[in-house]
């Protein structure tokens, strides 16, 4: 494997930081080659046995890349399997490290990795180290014995200095809001650990074009209107309740995909219009489709029997349709052999938007990169897209602002 010039330079710099601080954070944008750069850094550092933690769908790709580094013994695992890891390692690479950043309390994966990482050098990887708040950096570094914040034994003590604490109300309960972090203070403590690199710096010539396609679904809109008005639907003897803003928002999102869960958790398929529209409009093209709900996967597999959920199979195939769930497929996989990426609806999360749409990009791609949002005409999805494009999550507070607390109908 021949590394690009910038990967050589970054790995040299990362190796020096690793030797000095036992930590380095490669904040390289997606498709710029974080994995290869991290493995080259590990080689230069002199590591032999390396624990590489990533998303489950990315493990095969990591293992294939590691074959180009014969001096490294790379064990690739997903975050959910950390509790099964045994043995000792010279170095740990934490891919998509922003996933460790939950706050104010550490997540299970963060706690598990902290136990494994005692006194071990770590390479953190992410194209979006703090996608929602700089407060997400505390627990990422918390896993390391060499954290720049190690004098603060927990997030709350750290927040006393690094966060402007506010209050918020959730379901009439007053809670502390720790999301407004003091960026300049945090940067002063961490900037020596970061190496950033953008797609533009890497010479990417292909930009992403986004297009919204709407599908008429009058029967679905009628159900949406009824649910919004009455806060309850009964379909084939199954009850669907929308007695809180969060539930109503989620149920309407489900309905716009042609499915919905009843109160017992059973999925009801109501409409195949979106999937049929995609099949007919993109006939003859190689496409990858992202969905959110399991019932939507069931709809798509019925319309696309030639599907695969394996990104490696899709990359090398000529006739497969890739189906991937937003959260599990938004990071660490490559789908740049697709003619287009389609979104069967949309997730509420900005991170899902940012990460998923970049799966089609690579430095080698020379044709236009197009992604399509396939929305229910007159539904909620366009409102969500407006927020995530603005680097915000679509929350229940936005839902209430958009549609009001009182019972009123959506415009069909």
d(CA 209, CA 375): 17
- Tell me, yes or no, whether 270 and 307 share the same domain: yes
- Tell me, yes or no, whether 244 and 336 share the same domain: yes
User: Is pLDDT of 142 > 80?
Assistant: yes
Higher pLDDT, 53 or 349: 53
Q: From the CB of residue 412, how many other CB atoms can be counted at a distance below 10 Å?
A: 14
- Tell me, yes or no, whether 118 and 216 share the same domain: no
- The alpha carbon of residue 35 and the mean position of all alpha carbons in its chain are separated, in whole angstroms, by 17
Q: Are 325 and 347 in contact (CB under 8 A)?
A: no
- Tell me, yes or no, whether 231 and 332 share the same domain: yes
Q: What does the pLDDT average to over 276-297?
A: 94
Strands 238-241 and 232-235, sheet pairing: antiparallel
d(CA 381, CA 410): 12
Cα pseudo-dihedral 103, 108, 109, 110, rounded to 10 = 50
- Tell me, yes or no, whether 198 and 218 share the same domain: no
Predicted confidence at residue 201, as pLDDT, reads 84
Predicted confidence at residue 406, as pLDDT, reads 41
Answer with the one of 179, 202, 225 that is the final residue of a domain. 202
* CATH code for position 349: 3.40.50.300
d(CA 189, CA 149): 8
Q: What does the pLDDT average to over 185-212?
A: 86
Mean pLDDT of the chain, nearest integer: 90
Residue labelled with tokens 């403590």: 189
d(CA 256, CA 361): 28
Spatial CB neighbours of 272, under 8 Å, sequence gap ≥ 6? 258, 299, 302, 303
d(CA 325, CA 328): 6
Vertex 241, ends 239 and 236: CA angle to 5°?
A: 20
d(CA 35, CA 95): 8
- Tell me, yes or no, whether 257 and 180 share the same domain: no
- Tell me, yes or no, whether 56 and 181 share the same domain: yes
Specify the number of domains making up the chain: 2
d(CA 231, CA 407): 8
d(CA 90, CA 68): 19
Question: Smallest Cα–Cα separation from 142: which of 121, 113, 171?
Answer: 113
Strands 194-197 and 23-28, sheet pairing: parallel
Does pTM top 0.85 for this prediction? no
Query: Tokens in use for 154?
Result: 């927990």
- Tell me, yes or no, whether 251 and 280 share the same domain: yes
User: Is 399 a domain residue?
Assistant: yes
Predicted confidence at residue 409, as pLDDT, reads 43
Which structural domain range is residue 389 located in?
208-403
pLDDT band at 330 (very low <50, low <70, confident <90, very high): low
d(CA 205, CA 221): 41
d(CA 153, CA 142): 9
d(CA 194, CA 199): 17
- Tell me, yes or no, whether 214 and 327 share the same domain: yes
Q: From the CB of residue 194, how many other CB atoms can be counted at a distance below 10 Å?
A: 16
Q: Are 197 and 7 in contact (CB under 8 A)?
A: no
Predicted confidence at residue 172, as pLDDT, reads 67
Q: Are 405 and 397 in contact (CB under 8 A)?
A: no
User: Is 346 a domain residue?
Assistant: yes
What Å distances lie between residue 351 and 2, 53, 116, 153, CA to CA? Answer: 31, 19, 27, 28
Burial class of residue 23, CB neighbours in 10 A (0-12, 13-18, 19+): buried
- Tell me, yes or no, whether 386 and 250 share the same domain: yes
Predicted confidence at residue 126, as pLDDT, reads 93
d(CA 107, CA 372): 33
Query: Tokens in use for 14?
Result: 């990362």
Answer with the one of 177, 202, 227 that is the final residue of a domain. 202
User: Is pLDDT of 331 > 70?
Assistant: no
User: Is 234 a domain residue?
Assistant: yes
Predicted confidence at residue 332, as pLDDT, reads 63
User: Is 412 a domain residue?
Assistant: no
- Tell me, yes or no, whether 147 and 244 share the same domain: no
Q: What does the pLDDT average to over 398-405?
A: 79
d(CA 36, CA 62): 9
User: Is 411 a domain residue?
Assistant: no
Answer with the one of 202, 235, 260 that is the final residue of a domain. 202
- Tell me, yes or no, whether 255 and 306 share the same domain: yes
* CATH code for position 124: 3.40.50.10810
User: Is pLDDT of 325 > 60?
Assistant: yes
């Amino acid at each position: 494997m021949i590394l690009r010039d910038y990967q050589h330079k970054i790995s040299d710099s990362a190796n020096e930081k690793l030797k000095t601080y036992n930590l380095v954070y490669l904040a390289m944008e997606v498709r710029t080659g974080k994995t290869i750069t991290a493995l080259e850094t590990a080689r230069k550092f002199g590591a032999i046995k390396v624990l590489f933690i990533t998303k489950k769908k990315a493990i095969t790709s990591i293992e294939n890349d590691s074959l180009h580094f014969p001096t490294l013994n790379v064990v690739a695992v997903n975050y959910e399997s950390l509790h099964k890891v045994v043995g000792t390692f010279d170095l740990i690479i934490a891919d998509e490290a922003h996933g460790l950043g939950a706050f104010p309390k550490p997540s299970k994966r963060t706690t598990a990795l902290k136990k494994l990482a005692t006194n071990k050098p770590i390479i953190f990887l992410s194209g979006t180290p703090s996608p929602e708040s700089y407060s997400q950096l505390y627990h990422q570094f918390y896993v390391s014995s060499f954290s720049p914040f190690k004098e603060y034994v927990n997030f709350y003590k750290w927040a006393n200095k690094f966060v402007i604490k506010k209050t918020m109300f959730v379901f009439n309960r007053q809670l502390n809001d720790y999301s407004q972090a003091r960026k300049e203070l945090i940067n002063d403590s961490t900037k020596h650990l970061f190496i950033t690199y953008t797609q533009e710096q890497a010479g990417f010539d292909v930009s992403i074009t986004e297009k919204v396609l709407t599908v008429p679904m009058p029967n679905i809109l009628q159900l949406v209107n009824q649910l919004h008005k009455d806060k309850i639907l009964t379909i084939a003897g199954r009850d669907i309740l929308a007695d809180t803003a969060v539930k109503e928002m989620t149920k309407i999102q489900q309905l716009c995909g042609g499915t919905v869960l009843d109160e017992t958790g059973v999925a009801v398929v109501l409409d195949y219009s979106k999937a049929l529209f995609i099949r007919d409009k993109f006939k003859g093209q190689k496409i990858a489709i992202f969905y959110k709900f399991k019932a939507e996967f069931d709809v798509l597999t019925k319309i696309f029997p030639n599907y695969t959920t394996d990104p490696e199979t899709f990359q090398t195939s000529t006739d497969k349709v890739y189906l991937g769930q937003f959260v599990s497929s938004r990071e660490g996989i490559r789908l740049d052999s697709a003619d287009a990426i389609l979104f069967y609806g949309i997730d509420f999360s900005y991170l899902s938007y940012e990460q998923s749409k970049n799966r089609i990009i690579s430095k080698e791609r020379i044709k236009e990169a197009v992604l399509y949002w396939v929305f229910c005409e007159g539904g909620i999805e366009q409102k969500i897209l407006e927020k995530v494009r603005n680097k915000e999550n679509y929350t229940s507070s936005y839902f209430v602002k958009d549609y009001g607390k009182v019972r009123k109908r959506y415009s069909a």
